[in-house]
Each structure stands twice: as structure tokens, then as C-alpha cells.
Amino acid sequence: MDWDKRDHIGVYPQKQASLNYVGLCVPIGRLYAPEMFEIARLAEVYGNGEMRLTVEQNFIIPNIPDSRLEAFLQEPVLEKFSIAPTPLVRSLISCTGAQFCNFALIETKNRALAMIKELETELELTRPIRVHWTGCPNSCGQPQVADIGLMGTKVRKDGKAAEGVDLYMGGKVGKAAHLGECVQKGIPCDDLKPVLRDLMIERFGAKLKQKASML
């Protein structure tokens, strides 16, 4: 059968009768140790102790019986690791970046999440947009397969060294997989948000929300 690419976030019935798997979104793929213990507890209490990781930096807890599903969905940790995240956070990917990786040319995860949340307050989306950040040319965040890929680099802004990105566009995954290409180099991170906003409007059908369009 020809499947479309799916991210597995949400609740889905398994082929085994009365069992379900639930995919939870981990924003920018950052999970701290206490959260990991809590997820492991959920997998033991509601499933069979198994959990699976996805290429989009999220996780799946399988084998949850119908009878336990409602209680599982009430667990407080699902407020952070949602089964129905906002659309840009849902498909946002980021490599580790300068906070914990010595190769990094820029900070990625915190910046990526903060910027995408700001864009979500400004834009209405008509389709998902996959934004991938990677902190250096090692490309752990795979910007080449993103709708909008951002690769960390050093730039000059107002005569000083600053953090910036090279912009990649045109990446596709699934049946028509295709690597995107670098279309613009050296955008200072401080100037990036309006660039992303314009791209989302012009190339991906996003619309300014009423309040944002009046600013």
C-alpha cells in the first residue's frame, strides 16, 4: 500500500484488538531526565513498558488498552508533551546546538522554539510547514529535507560577528522525497523572524492574524 508520510502524533488504534498507540510531541525534541522517568512510568502503567522514538524527535507509547486510554489522556505530563500540538511546534525539528554541542556555530533549540511560538501568534496556517534547524554543517537537524531549513553559520552584523543561518528550501519527504538547496546565505538570527514570516505567507499560504496585521 502507498502510505503518505505521517508523524504518528495523536491516538491511533493498533491492528491488535482493543489496543492503541499514542504519539506525543516533544517540542524541539528536548526531554530532561525527570520527564523521561515520567514517560517511562506512563509506559509501564498504561502500556507494556515499551516506548518508541520517532525521526521527528517525538515518542510513541504503544499497547494502551481502550479501557486505560481515557485515564492516560488525563495525565498532567501531556500538557507539555501534547497529542494535539500547535501546527508549527508539531513539525519543528532542531539539533542540539550551542547549549550542549561543541561543534555548534549557533544556539538552536531555544531560539527555534521561541521564534516558532512567536510566529504562531502572528500567523494562521492553511497547511503544515516543516522547519528544521541545525547548528553547523554536520546537519544533524537535516535542513535539506525541510520545507524551510536553517543551518547555523557566523555572520557580520553592524560590524560585529553574530549568529546567523543559511536558508534551505524545497526539501520533501515521503513518496516524492527530494533534497532542498541553499537559497540564501548568512541571514543574522536577529533578522530571521520577518524572513520566515514572509516565506510562510508567500510560499506556504499562511495568513497574518487580524491583530498582527494591524501592528
Residues that bind ligand SF4 (CB under 6 A): 95-97, 101, 103-104, 134-136, 138-141
Count of other CB atoms within 10 angstroms of residue 137: 12
Q: Are 175 and 2 in contact (CB under 8 A)?
A: yes
CA 55 – CA 93 distance, rounded (Å): 9
* Best CA proximity match to 168, nearest among 198, 202, 144: 144
Q: Could you tell me the smallest distance in angstroms from the CB atom of residue 60 to ligand SF4?
A: 23
Q: Could you tell me the smallest distance in angstroms from the CB atom of residue 96 to ligand SF4?
A: 4
Q: Could you tell me the smallest distance in angstroms from the CB atom of residue 188 to ligand SF4?
A: 18
Q: Could you tell me the smallest distance in angstroms from the CB atom of residue 100 to ligand SF4?
A: 8
C-beta nearest to ligand SF4: residue: 135
Q: Which is nearer to ligand SF4, 97 or 171 (CB)?
A: 97
Q: Which residues pair with 61 in a beta bridge?
A: 22
Q: Which is nearer to ligand SF4, 107 or 147 (CB)?
A: 107
Task: Write the CB contacts of 22 (distance below 8 Å, at least 6 apart in sequence).
Answer: 10, 11, 12, 60, 61, 64, 69, 72, 73, 83
Q: Which is nearer to ligand SF4, 69 or 192 (CB)?
A: 192
Q: Which is nearer to ligand SF4, 18 or 99 (CB)?
A: 99
Q: Which is nearer to ligand SF4, 47 or 97 (CB)?
A: 97
Q: Could you tell me the smallest distance in angstroms from the CB atom of residue 119 to ligand SF4?
A: 22
Strands 123-124 and 207-208: antiparallel
CA 25 – CA 89 distance, rounded (Å): 8
Q: Could you tell me the smallest distance in angstroms from the CB atom of residue 133 to ligand SF4?
A: 8
Q: Which is nearer to ligand SF4, 62 or 97 (CB)?
A: 97
